[in-house]
Amino acid sequence: MNEKLRVGSGRNVDLAIASIFGKLKANIDFSFVEEKHRTIIFSSALPNEGKTTIAVNVAAAMAAADKKTLFLDADMRNPTAHQLFSIVNTRGLSDIISQGADWRQFVFKAKVPNLYVITAGRKPSNPSRFLSSERFHSLLTELSAEFDYIILDTPPILLVPDTQIISAHADGVVLVIKNGKTSRDSVKEAHETLLRANANVIGAVLNHAGKKESIYGYGYGVNNRTPGRPHGAPPKRPTHGTSEKPVPPGVKKPAPVSK
């Protein structure tokens, strides 16, 4: 592929086609017509579905559109985003929370203008407890005052509760689905888990598409936001329809969604 978004100086993602991630950005924008600052989680039912890859590239697309964007690696169990940015993860989110430190001391500037990164930091013994903390909640509030977009990378939904915990404090969640691998049941269960956590699921990215095997045919919806927003934010707008779902690199759109 010729058009790659270079977010770091080293290893780069193969699938990154700027226009596709721009489209994904536009879909996300469409979900939040009224809001200026947006905190968006990229997660998946299971590991290795491509959430870090997609999240990093969407963050780069946001930044390329002149939006001050922060990539926050909240996958403290298996952090890898720093590799895509070619930076080290010696300290980061976990240290901000445990030390009650000022996040400004932990921000990296990526190679892409307008793009900033906070890595996951040292692995805590209990990441869920960190993410449930008042300190993490207030950190998100502080960050959302500073950045136009905050893109969060989180662990797999069906393995650990971390994403559920954070999701109610984010403006939206995008589910990344590995085409041909993740079962309908797993996707459905992940989606339902998010809804139970009061998450605003704004869409899905079908990743690794373009392969022969396909998982089209299951539908899972975009929910209308339930009340009870974090940090005093107003209720979110209802999500867009299925025809506006984010479309991943080089793939077809997922099947129609049943609401």
Q: Residue 249: what residue type?
A: P
Residue 88: count of CB within 10 angstroms of its CB: 11
Q: Does 44 bind Mg ion (CB under 5 A)?
A: no
Q: How far is the CB of 14 from ligand ADP (least distance, A)?
A: 6
Q: Mask 216-255, x = binds ligand ADP (CB under 6 A)?
A: ---------------------------------x------
Q: Closer to Mg ion at the Cβ: 32 or 42?
A: 42
A 10 A CB-CB count for 34 gives 8
Site string for Mg ion, 54-83 (x = CB under 5 A): --------------------------x---
- SS3 state at 256: coil
| Residue listed under structure tokens 């969407």 | 58
Using DSSP, state whether 117 is helix, strand or coil: strand
- Using DSSP's 3-state secondary structure scheme, residue 218 falls into strand
Residue 70, both tokens: 């922060």
Q: Taking CB within 5 to 8 Å according to partner kind, which of ligand ADP, Mg ion, none is near residue 193?
A: none
Please, which residue, 16 or 107, has the CB nearer to ligand ADP?
Answer: 16
Closest CB to ligand ADP among residues 21, 220 = 21
Choice from 43, 44, 52, 114 touching Mg ion (CB under 5 A)? 52
Residue 203 · residue 245 · CB < 8 Å = yes
210: left (phi over 0), alpha (psi -120 to 50) or beta: left
Query: With CB under 6 A as the contact rule, which of the stretches 2-10, 43-51, 134-142, 197-205 interacts with ligand ADP?
Result: 43-51
**CB closer to ligand ADP, 144 vs 186:** 186
Query: Nearer Cβ to Mg ion, position 80 or 198?
Result: 80
Residue type for position 228:
G
Order of strands, sheet of 172-178, starting from the edge strand that comes earlier in the sequence: 108-109, 115-118, 69-73, 149-153, 38-44, 172-178, 201-207
Question: Residue 244: in which H helix or E strand, if any?
Answer: none
Among 49-57, 102-110, 192-200, 236-244, the segment contacting ligand ADP (CB under 6 A): 49-57
Contact residues for ligand ADP (CB under 6 A)?
13-15, 44, 47-53, 80, 207-208, 249
